[in-house]
Structures are given as C-alpha cells and as structure tokens.
Amino acid sequence: MMIATLLFPKWCIEPDASGEQVCARTDRAVGLSVDGRIAYVGPAADAPEARHRVDLRGFTLMPGLINAHTHAAMTLMRGVADDTPLDVWLKNHIWPREGKHLSDPFVYEGTLLAAWEMLRGGTTCCNDMYLFPDAAARALRRAGMRAMIAMPVFDFPTPYAADADGYLSAGLAARDAHADTRTLRFALAAHAPYTVSDSSFAKIKMFADELNLPIHTHLQETAKEVAESVAQYGVSPTQRLADLDITRPDFVAIHAVHCDKLDIATLVAHHSHVVHCPTSNMKLASGVAPIAEMWAAGLNVALGTDGAASNNRLDMWQEMRMAALLAKVSTGDAAALPAPQVLHMATLGGARALGWADEIGSIEVGKSADLIAVDMRQLEHAPIFDPLSHLVYVTDRNCVQHVWVQGEQVVRDGVPTKLDATELRSYAAAWQDTLK
C-alpha cells in the first residue's frame, strides 16, 4: 500500500500483546495510505518513504474516541431543563418540546452542532439515536464524521412517525438513502422496553434477522423501569428481551444501570454489549451501573455521553474520567477500572459494541485511519510519568488538535475543516428563540 502521510507522535496508543488492553509506545510512526487506511505502524526509524511527514513531537496519537450512545440533535436542548428527575424531565420538558418542534431541519442543524463539538473533542464516531435519522445522517456525512445511525422505534406517535410500522419503514428508507456511504451504518433501535411492545419487538427482530442489523435499546436505566416490568411481565426488562430473543451478539444495552447478577449473566451468555453513560446517569440520578462487575464477568463495555440535554456535554474525556471515578467510589476499590481499561472502553470497546472493530477502535495496519492527535505539551500535563493515566485523569477535549476520519483531516489545529462556525451559531440562536 502506498503511504501518503507518516505521523511521528511522542506516544502512540496501540493494543498491547493481549489485544485486550492499550499501551503507550514511543519512537513510533503511523503511515496512512491514499485510501485512508493505516498502512504502517512500527518503529519510526524503519518507516518507509511517504509524501508527507508530520512531526507530532509532544503529541499523543490515539484511535478516535467512539461515543457509543448519543442523541446528537438534542444539543439544541442543552440546559433547557436541568436538575430534574428523569420521568419529569422527559414528560414535562423534553417530549412536549419535541412534539411541537421536531422536524428535519431541527435534527439536521442540531446534529451539525453536535458534530462540531464531538469532532473538536476527538470523537470520530458516534452511535446516534434520534428521530429523523436521514437528517442526522446527512449532517454527520457533511461533517466528515463516522456514525452508526439508529432507526428508532416507539409505539406512540411523534412528528416523525405514527406507529411501529411507520418508524420502521421511515428508518429503512433512510438507510437505503445512505447505503453508499462507507462511514455510515444503521442499527434498529427500540427506544426502551417500556415504550415498545412485545409485538413491535417481534417486528424489529424480523428485520434484524432479514437484513442482518444490530438491535440497540435503552435498558434498565432506572429502578422504576425494572419494578414496572416485574409488575407487568413478571421479569426484568433484560429477561423479557432474552425471552423475545432480542439479546444476542449484536444487541447493545444502553445504560444497564439496574442490572442484577442474572441480568449480567444473561448479557454475558448472549455476548451482548453495554454502553455506560456515567454523567447522564449521575445527572438524572438514575444510579450507578455495576461496570466493574460487568467487566469482570467478561461483558464488553463501551462509553457514551447520552444527549446534551442530559449531560450537558458531548465530551468523551469527561465520560472516561467519570467512569473511572464512579467505579472506584461505588465499589470502594481504588483499583477498579484503571486508566488502560477506560481507554479501551472509549475506543475498541465502542468499536466492538457497534460491530465495527474490523475497521476502527485501534491503531493497527489495515484499519481505517480514524485518529486523533492530542497535545500533551502544556504545563498542565507536566510531568508525564504515565501517558495512559494522563489521558484519563488530566487531558481534556481542548487538547485535541488534529482529527482524521478515514484518513481525511476533519479537524486541523483545533478547528473542524468541513463545518462553518458562523452558520452553526446562527442555527443555535434561532432554535434558542423557538424552544425557550
């Protein structure tokens, strides 16, 4: 493969010998091919010839962060109703505004705003779940970001669709419209077990089987959700979904806060995945997901921000730090979720959850060049005994200077190359007037 660009970072974050952890290597070079793949990873001294050589002295080069759960367009509702419990927040603040204002332009413009924030913060791929997925797909494609886009399903009407059949046909049409885009993939997303009936889950499963699509859902986010499921169905939502044959190797459980040992064992046995959203869970007082226990049981865990309405940042550096700290305080064990594990969750763990680990999640020859360069030269980083520890406990999103998706530089010197700040500011101002 012809090398177009060679990057020479101070530290390169690569899989260790086991492939299950990351490590920081020095004196490395990473080569990008003309078609946007990683064509060389090895000693800088042995690097082949290349058209461009980029000196990243003082920088860490790492795989792009994967935000495994967000509602990108909800960035337009950032801070609209803070310090409110989940059910009141949804029913009194979010759903009424969505019912009145949700539209293709809302999602397109809100998703562009989210893409700006995510790319600038080093997130190269998001798993987006929202209404009007065609608008989200167009926005993320324009921003140059990789994404898995949910085809959402509810049993109740919204401005987007009337019933489960309507959601499914609109979602599948959006998928067809973007079938030629290498950086976009689609998943079926049942919003939650409490908003989707057994018969709708059966339809989702039928399409998942037929079209080989993953199934994602919010799962056991609150204790109330579990209690209501036990009252209505006699079992937890996880057991109900297992009975419906929904939990399987491409099933992604978002939140999974209130999971007992049986729920965890079920998800492990079915090789399913969990997306941990620590900031959103704390902000909505949902609880603490038993992530250290899940990790020890062998469950693949990814990290997500959730939407900006419940976070209020799409900032994976915050999620990494929160995940590490929350695991320690909730288990009483300072050794729980050490930095290399957290970095794994935010990169390869996310790629595995999305079924995309053949392309992204680690710096390895043959994978897509989805990379970020993090400036570690500021005095706030000094001294650097262990760059992995710093990436979780010290670094923030403003340290991200350069971002590549599929070899294309989409952030240069901290500025997204394919988006226009003035345009995004005008969208945000107009929606602020409308939504207040």
The residues of the shown chain that bind Zn ion, judged by CB under 5 A, are 306
Altogether, the residues listed in the chain come to a count of 436
Find the shortest distance in angstroms from Cβ 124 to Zn ion.
Answer: 20
* Nearest distance in Å: CB 77, Zn ion: 13
> Of the two residues 47 and 308, which places its CB atom closer to Zn ion in the complex?
308
Cβ 200 to Zn ion, closest distance in Å? 18
CB nearer Zn ion, residue 306 or residue 315: 306
Q: Considering the complex, what minimum distance in angstroms separates the CB of residue 64 from Zn ion?
A: 21
Q: How far is the CB of 135 from Zn ion (least distance, A)?
A: 18
Q: How far is the CB of 341 from Zn ion (least distance, A)?
A: 23
Q: Is 171 helix (H, G, I), strand (E, B) or coil?
A: helix
Instruction: Please report, for residues 113, 285, 432, the alpha-carbon distance to residue 429 in angstroms, rounded to integers and kept in the order given.
Output: 11, 30, 5
Q: What is the DSSP letter of 202?
A: H
- For Zn ion, the closer of residues 306 and 370 by Cβ is 306
Distance CA 418, CA 389 (A): 32
The 10 Å Cβ neighbour count of residue 325 is 16
d(Cα 289, Cα 281) in Å, to the nearest integer? 8
H helix or E strand, kind and range, residue 164: helix 164-177
Nearer to Zn ion, 250 or 306 (CB): 306
Q: Nearest distance from residue 71's CB to Zn ion, in Å? A: 6
DSSP conformational letter for 131: S
Closest chain position to Zn ion (CB): 306
- Which of 29, 148 has the CB closer to Zn ion? 148
- Please report where in the chains the tokens 């927040």 appear, as a residue: 89
Q: Which is nearer to Zn ion, 183 or 279 (CB)?
A: 279
Q: Quick one: which of 291, 297, 309 has its CA closest to 270?
A: 297
Is the Cβ of residue 200 or residue 286 nearer to Zn ion in the bound state? Answer: 286
| Four-point Cα dihedral 386, 388, 394, 397, nearest 10 | 140
The dihedral region occupied by 341, where left means phi > 0, alpha psi between -120 and 50, and beta the remainder, is alpha
Least distance to Zn ion from the beta carbon of 307, Å?
6
Burial class of residue 421 (count of CB atoms within 10 Å of its CB; 0-12, 13-18, 19+)? exposed
Residue 290, preceding bond cis, omega within 30 degrees?
Answer: no
CB 131 → Zn ion: shortest distance, Å? 13
With contact defined as beta carbons under 8 Å apart, do 383 and 377 qualify?
Answer: no
What's the number of CA atoms in the CB half-sphere (13 Å) around residue 259? 28
Contact between 363 and 12 under an 8 Å Cβ cutoff? The reply is: yes
How many angstroms separate the CA atoms of 334 and 299, rounded?
21
Q: Report yes or no: 14 and 29 within 8 Å, Cβ to Cβ.
A: no
* Residue 268, token pair as written in the block: 């492990």
CB of 252 to Zn ion, least distance (A): 12
Cβ proximity to Zn ion: between 134 and 306 the closer is 306
Which residue, 74 or 204, has its beta carbon nearer to Zn ion? 74
Nearer to Zn ion (CB atom), residue 311 or residue 409: 311
Least distance (Å) between residue 270 CB and Zn ion = 21
CA–CA gap between residue 132 and residue 129 (Å, rounded): 10
Distance CA(144)–CA(158), nearest Å, equals 29
Residue placing its CB nearer to Zn ion in the complex, 29 or 150: 150
Expressed in angstroms, the distance from the first to the final Cα of the chain is 53
CA separation for the pair 263, 242 (Å, rounded): 9
How many degrees, rounded to 5, is the angle at CA 150 between CA 144 and CA 156?
A: 140
